[in-house]
Amino acid sequence: MAIEQLADAIERGDREGAISCARDLVGRIPPEDLLKSSTEGIKKVGEKFENHEVFLADLILAAQAVYGVAGVLEPYLDREKMKAKALGTVVIGTIEGDVHSVGKDLVAMVLRASGFNVIDLGIDVAAEEFAAAAKEHVAKIAGASALLSTTMLGLREIPRALEKEGIRETVRVMFGGAPVTERFTKATGGDLYAEDAFRAVKVAKKAMGVA
């Protein structure tokens, strides 16, 4: 079995097939290379999603397949080494007062599958919590979502909280969610806007200066 089959299984969203490939290859190919192949697979799905060639469900299946492979590789990976090689750390959560998590969970899943170290703060997260976590984990991006127009105004508190922590200059702020727009993001002090999970990856990579 070749490593290309692993990327192909990821691209098809075949979780069980990807897991089987990973188990077969892990004794013969460095686990880091297998994980890299997995991220290449989901990258292709993301590109197809952006070009309207596949659906959101396909992107979710591909991300779940990567998660399955990561579970197989976990015992073989040097976590500190992998963390050092990560594209960067992102803290993510749903803004205070908002308990919606599906969109945020998908963004976190795809960011992880694409090589980012993701700290998921969950739902109903205060601006101060975003700032404290960003400082603790030396995050490069603080990503927040809002699914309600009544809670989206809370997003504007995040840049202010980062300023109070003294890290505003080193942390990019990314907003998303159904009622959020790029115009709103800029008007409230945010730096980056992503309307869906794959665009969040592209925006994050561009902000980090990686392809």
CA distance 205 to 203: 5
User: Domains, the chain, ranges and CATH?
Assistant: 3-79 (1.10.1240.10), 86-208 (3.40.50.280)
Q: Which of 16, 201, 177, 115 is nearest to 190 (CA)?
A: 177
User: Mean of the pLDDT values across residues 110-131?
Assistant: 93
pLDDT for 138 equals 96
Identity (one letter) of the amino acid at 8?
A: D
Distances from the Cα of 19 to the Cαs of 8, 9, 64, 146, 155, in angstroms? 12, 9, 11, 34, 38
User: Mean of the pLDDT values across residues 3-16?
Assistant: 92
CA distance 63 to 113: 6
The answer to whether 97 and 133 have CB atoms below 8 angstroms apart is no
Tens of pLDDT, residue by residue over 49-96, are 878 899 888 888 988 898 888 889 888 876 655 665 678 999 999 999
CA distance 104 to 108: 6
**Token digits for 48?**
């197809």
Q: What percent of the chain has pLDDT over 70?
A: 95
What SS3 class is residue 73?
A: helix
Tell me the pTM. Answer: 0.74
pLDDT for 189 equals 96
pLDDT band at 128 (very low <50, low <70, confident <90, very high): very high
User: Mean of the pLDDT values across residues 97-120?
Assistant: 87
Count of C-beta atoms within a 10 Å radius of residue 21: 27
User: Mean of the pLDDT values across residues 97-125?
Assistant: 89
pLDDT for 39 equals 78
Count of C-beta atoms within a 10 Å radius of residue 92: 27
